[in-house]
Structure 1
Amino acid sequence: MASATLIGATKKGTKSPDKVPSWVWALPPIAALALVFLYPLALVVQQSFQPDTGGTSLQPYADVFGSVAFREALSTTVWLAVGATVGCLVLGFVLALVIAFVPFPGGKAVAKFIDVFLSFPSFLITLALLFIYGSVGMANGLWTDVTGAADGPFQFLTTPWGVLLAEITYFTPFVMRPLLAAFSQLDTAQIEAASSLGARAPRIIRQVILPEALPALMAGGSLVLVMCLNEFGIVLFTGAKGVTTLPMLVYSEAILESNYPAACVVAVVNIGISVGLYGLYRLVSRRVGA
């Protein structure tokens, strides 16, 4: 009994070692993030204020904002991103509805293929479209073989509409994946009850399915919008003439023109638009409770 009392007194008198503060564990990832991302980003911002003549000024921004090429690239980037996002939302919602609620053979295999599709690089999808609809693709080749014409009718891949088609084709699964996850958690009893009360498919979709899918649509749509704003490979591999987006303008200014201050200005603008859209998405999602 005495020994137990002595042991208890010893334990009370001994101080437990101090625990490592939680902020210490955050230092390594923060340091790695600062090294591989924040430091190069700071260099880009710094270079955007340093013209080739030396010193620090806002002249690179004035030159870029005053150029016609920048304004055209900005408008092209915005309308392509918005158009692709709308197309992905509509097409992704319809395809996700079919996969989730219309029983057909191979439905599960199609759902799994969407996960694999997300890992494909964007230029691979563009090359596939070029093999089908390109100037020397299968569709034009079949047309020339049948009609004997010199050229086929499918020449749209080298236009903005071809870029739009390629972006919708590639980014639609990014909308379908969160939608399929939302549909899998939907209580089918609500659909059965609405159907038993005489509601038809359009009304069930509008009043039962769509409200439940709205947060997933917002998440997928915002992701597609930001990715389309920064897409480079699709525009480059389609070879669309006269289609210059902000990423393509950064490439041409830095690599082709060796105008690094101008390229950094365009990059800063592109980053600002992306971060601004992300902040807007976070604000709206909190307001609607997503």
Structure 2
Amino acid sequence: MGRSIALRNDRPQRYLWALPPVLALSLLFLYPLLLVLQQSLHPDTGGTSLQPYVDVFASPAFREALWTTVWIAVVATVGCLVLGFLLALVIAFVPFPGARAVARFIDVFLSFPSFLITLALLFIYGTVGMVNGLWTDVTGAGDGPFQFLATPWGVLLAEVTYFTPFVMRPLLAAFSQVDTAQVEVAASLGARPGRVVRRVILPEALPALAAGGSLVLVLCLNEFGIVLFTGAKGVTTLPMLVYSKAILESDYPGACAVAVVNVLLSVGLYGVYRVVSRRAGA
């Protein structure tokens, strides 16, 4: 009884402590979002209207950007899941010198900005990169054979390279909880490595795969730096469309309308990610 009264008395103080972060969040995050939403409802003709949304949804450029954003994000996520699972499997279950150092490097890699990875790929596979330069030096040709970085395949390569560690990190944590005795017993009973992976390891990894894949999908939907730095002319995603409308066309209501759609799509997928993470215990 006395404890419940004390908790009731502490409630106003707890609300008081929560007030500063709520105000900071509202000022730095919610208020700019409200400004974007407000601008998307005020066309250049004046007044309040849904016309910017009507114009955006009727635009072939928006539909193409939406499709490009979705398919690149989905394919990149699948690539990250496959590559991340294989690499995490090797690091966790195939003993080799430096495995711990590689696992620690993954944590450092997560802090790298995305454009840094894109620049590294440009130095290697770009039009005047190392590989093309070596080819022209050896063969005497005018151009090298690798010209894919300015295409959707270049964007996919950069996104898979950058976001794969985001899948590997939860997988390595999940693999550390796998009972190695089960793996050893299955192997001793004659199970092939593929069967051990399917029957013993994969079921334990599914929650981490789902959580990591959901997070990567959300990040790929909102990726801007990779698409911009690859210089892929035929690749226009929703973030790139916001940039072109606001900076190149000065169509701020249209840019804000596209941004609102992108935010709603991302928030919806983030909700899915949180549900999956909660079930996975992440």
TM-score range, shorter chain: over 0.9
Query: Which residue pairs with 1:155 in the alignment?
Result: 147
8 Å Cα contact 2:84/2:165 also seen in 1: yes
**Residue 66 of structure 1 pairs with residue 58 of structure 2:** yes
Relative to structure 1, the CA distance from residue 158 to residue 60 in structure 2 (aligned partners, 3 Å threshold; closer, same or farther) is: same
Relative to structure 1, the CA distance from residue 102 to residue 269 in structure 2 (aligned partners, 3 Å threshold; closer, same or farther) is: same
Q: Distance in 1 between matches of 2:49 and 2:125?
A: 48
**Residue 108 of structure 1 pairs with residue 108 of structure 2:** no
Query: Which residue pairs with 1:167 in the alignment?
Result: 159
**Residue 184 of structure 1 pairs with residue 199 of structure 2:** no
**How far did 1:109 drift?**
0.9
Query: Which residue pairs with 1:268 in the alignment?
Result: 260
Q: Distance in 2 between matches of 1:76 and 1:194?
A: 44
Residue of structure 2 aligned with 1:217, choices 209, 226, 238? 209
> AA paired with 2:27?
L
Relative to structure 1, the CA distance from residue 73 to residue 37 in structure 2 (aligned partners, 3 Å threshold; closer, same or farther) is: same
Q: Distance in 1 between matches of 2:281 and 2:176?
A: 20
Query: Which residue pairs with 2:135 in the alignment?
Result: 143
Q: Give the alignment's TM-score, normalised by structure 1.
A: 0.91
Q: Distance in 2 between matches of 1:200 and 1:285?
A: 31
> AA paired with 1:217?
L
The number of equivalent residue pairs is: 276
Query: Which residue pairs with 1:239 in the alignment?
Result: 231
Q: Distance in 2 between matches of 1:233 and 1:56?
A: 33
> AA paired with 2:199?
Q
* Percent of pairs with identical residues: 81
**Residue 125 of structure 1 pairs with residue 117 of structure 2:** yes
Q: Distance in 1 between matches of 2:94 and 2:245?
A: 50
Report 1:21-60 matches (<5 A): 21=12, 22-60=14-52
3-state SS of 2:149 partner = helix
**How far did 1:289 drift?**
7.9
Residue-by-residue CA offset, 1:211-233 (whole Å, 9 max, x unaligned): 11111111110111000000000
Q: Distance in 1 between matches of 2:83 and 2:275?
A: 26
**How far did 1:189 drift?**
1.1
Query: Which residue pairs with 2:248 in the alignment?
Result: 256
8 Å Cα contact 2:211/2:280 also seen in 1: no
8 Å Cα contact 2:174/2:208 also seen in 1: yes
Q: Distance in 2 between matches of 1:137 and 1:206?
A: 41
3-state SS of 2:244 partner = helix
> AA paired with 1:37?
F
**How far did 1:24 drift?**
2.5
**How far did 1:241 drift?**
1.2
Residue-by-residue CA offset, 1:78-115 (whole Å, 9 max, x unaligned): 00000100000000000000000001111111111111
Q: Distance in 2 between matches of 1:136 and 1:19?
A: 66
Q: Distance in 1 between matches of 2:278 and 2:96?
A: 37
Structure 2 alignment gaps of length 5 or more:
1-5
Q: Distance in 2 between matches of 1:104 and 1:43?
A: 54
